[in-house]
Amino acid sequence: MKKNLRIVSAAAAALLAVAPVAASAVSVNAADNTTATTTNTANTVINAGGTAINTPADAKYDVDVTPNLTATAASTVNGQTINGSITGNITASYNGQSYTGTLDTKNGKVSVADSKGTAVTDFSKLTNGSYTVTVSGVSFNFGTANANKTITLGSKNSNVKFAGADGKFADTVKVELGQNGTLTTPISVQVSNVNALDLSNANGVNFYNASNGSQVTKGSVNVTAGLNGRLNVSTVASEILKNFAAYQVSNGKAVSQMPDQKAVVADVNAALKAANSPVDNAGWFTAPTSFSVNVKATSSINGVDATLPVTVNVANGKDMTVPSQSKTIMHNAYYYDKDAKRVGTDKLTRYNSVTVSPKTTTINGKAYYEVVENGKLSGKFINADNIDGTERTLKHNAYVYKTSKKRANKVVLKKGDKVVTYGGTYTFKNGKQYYKIGNNTDKTYVKASNF
């Protein structure tokens, strides 16, 4: 459930404008900070929609605050002048719900400083570079269900700081909620390293081999794991940074756009998570003999990004391939988790193959096959009835049907015969229920009422 709280101040619209549907942005000209103007510059759109981001389990705060800011440098594109602007919103995620911030109409203030700490007085003349944005008088309404609580606000973004009534910025801030769940005292939110993008620069970001300078579209690195195949994500990230560089041309000069160690560590963690390889809090994991990392470089000049697929070859890594077998899906099947709860809406359609573990797992009394992906257990399960079927005993003689009106053959199944059916029943046009029988793609069905 998403609760959006619209901003009640024109001055606040520069940074907290909610644009859940329309592809437009709200910008502010610092010459008159009380007037908001709407433009259709897609590059500056900040969308407050989307699903809530749950607070990390190991976080030292209750609420994850996520400022989403975009700065655009003044430029001329195709003869059209684009004013500089800063747009965005500040949202908070608490207990799986997302809340959009509001600004105090009397005391709220938005201030911007450049990399040298000089205050920016005219947003329309922003130049390409890095800025620090401070928003004071920020509040959230977490609803009456959270009334009178004391909670701690923080952010997964290390560029975000908070200050309470004392004005001292820190990684977290403790706040009191009133009877309606609103902060009793508004806070200040500060976001550093907000890059003003140069939209007139159409150059992309390219990756290069650091040793010979040749441009590359993919790469590989070699690392060595320790005892029992243990390896740290920082080691992998360092090796990637040692071997590759990312550059973009601006004003005739090559500007480095290679992500830093922290960003590449995040890319490595994302790759291992996707491969179902657990990483502990210190960054250690049991390394396979090989895995892939997508290294993303985002331009600080014009916001474009590029991705370099890197294969990590691990000496002393472990063969993580699990035993598996290919099975044919005989009835459309959904994915389930280890608690037999549906996972997403994707389904496997009948008569297609799936790679699964050789043995079934019993969950809540039912047999399931765990799906194997890329040689590893995926944590997704399929009801074995959709693959192996279930043996049933006929209570009556039964014909085998092709459709609700036509028989598939002249076979008559006798009372007491044991027949394997696959998956749940199908409802035919006559409104009656039928089971699929026969381990094949033939249209062979028996009325469910005969079992």
Q: Indicate if the pLDDT at residue 416 is higher than 90.
A: yes
Q: Is the same domain home to 268 and 127?
A: no
Select from 285, 315, 345 the last residue of a domain.
315
Assess if residue 320 is contained within a domain: no
pLDDT digits (tens, 9 = 90+) for 334-355: 999 999 999 988 899 999 999 9
Q: How far apart are CA 305 and CA 206, in angstroms?
A: 9
Provide the residue type at 246 as one letter.
A
- Per-residue model confidence as pLDDT tens digits over 69-119: 888 888 877 777 778 888 888 888 888 888 888 776 666 688 899 989 999
326 — pLDDT class (breaks 50, 70, 90): very high
Same domain, 67 and 156: yes
pLDDT tens-digit readout, 277-318: 899 999 999 999 999 999 999 998 888 999 999 999 999 998
Which pLDDT belongs to residue 389?
94
Do 69 and 125 reside in the same domain of the chain? yes
Shared domain for 132 and 28, answered yes or no, is: yes
Give the tokens for residue 255: 């500007």
**Pairing mode of beta strands 2-3, 102-103:** unpaired
| DSSP codes joined into one string, 341-385 | -EEEEEEEPTT-EEEEEEEEEEETTEEEEEEEETTEEEEEEEEGG
What is the per-residue pLDDT for 264? 97
Look at residue 341 and tell me if it is in a domain: yes
Strand partners, 310: 219, 293
What is the amino acid identity at position 135? V
Go through 71-88 and write b for each residue having 16 or more CB atoms within 10 A of its CB, e for each that does not.
bbbbbeeeeeebbbbbbb
Predicted confidence at residue 251, as pLDDT, reads: 80
Scanning 137-278, the segments in alpha helix (DSSP H) are: 233-243, 261-274
Stronger pLDDT, 446 or 103, i.e. the higher one: 446
Tokens (6 digits) for 265: 């560590």
Q: What is the pLDDT of residue 377?
A: 86
Domain that holds residue 245: 206-315
pLDDT band at 427 (very low <50, low <70, confident <90, very high): very high
C-alpha–C-alpha distance, residues 398 and 421, integer Å = 13
Instruction: Say whether both 263 and 332 belong to one domain.
Output: no
Residue 221 pLDDT level (bands cut at 50, 70, 90): very high
pLDDT (tens digit per residue) in 15-52: 333 222 222 222 222 323 322 222 222 222 222 222 33
Look at residue 107 in the predicted model and tell me its pLDDT. Answer: 64
In a domain, 217, yes or no: yes
Average pLDDT over the chain, rounded to whole? 83
> Is there a contact between 171 and 181 (Cβ–Cβ < 8 Å)?
no
Is residue 297 one of the residues assigned to a domain? yes
**Together in a domain, 188 and 213:** no
Give helix 261-274 / helix 233-243 axis angle, nearest 10°: 120
**What number is the average pLDDT over the span 361-367?**
95
Show the tokens assigned to 181.
């769940």
DSSP 3-state percent helix, strand, coil across the chain (nearest 5): 10, 50, 40
- Per residue in 113-163, pLDDT (tens digit) is 998 999 988 888 888 888 999 999 899 999 888 899 999 999 988 899 999
Whether residue 11 is predicted with pLDDT greater than 90 in this model: the reply is no
> Which amino acid would we find at residue 382?
I
- Percent pLDDT > 90 in the chain is 57
Q: Judge residue 211's burial from the number of C-beta atoms within 10 Å of its C-beta, 0-12 exposed, 13-18 middle, 19 or more buried.
A: exposed
Measure Cα distances from 144 to 52, 141, 394 in Å. 19, 9, 58
Estimate to the nearest angstrom the gap between the alpha carbon of 254 and the chain centroid: 32
Please check the confidence at residue 54 and state whether its pLDDT lies above 70.
no
What pLDDT, on the 0 to 100 scale, is given for residue 104?
65
| Torsion sign, CA atoms 27, 200, 249, 269 | positive
How many domains are contained in the chain?
4
Position 374 in a domain: yes
Same domain, 110 and 250: no
Model pLDDT, residue 425:
93
Regarding beta strands 63-72 and 150-154, do their DSSP bridges make them parallel or antiparallel, or are they unpaired? parallel
Do residues 148 and 58 both lie within one domain?
yes
Q: How far, CA to CA in Å, does 194 sit from each of 112, 152, 286? A: 10, 24, 36
Given a cut of 60, whether residue 412 has pLDDT beyond it is yes
Q: Are residues 339 and 428 in the same domain?
A: no
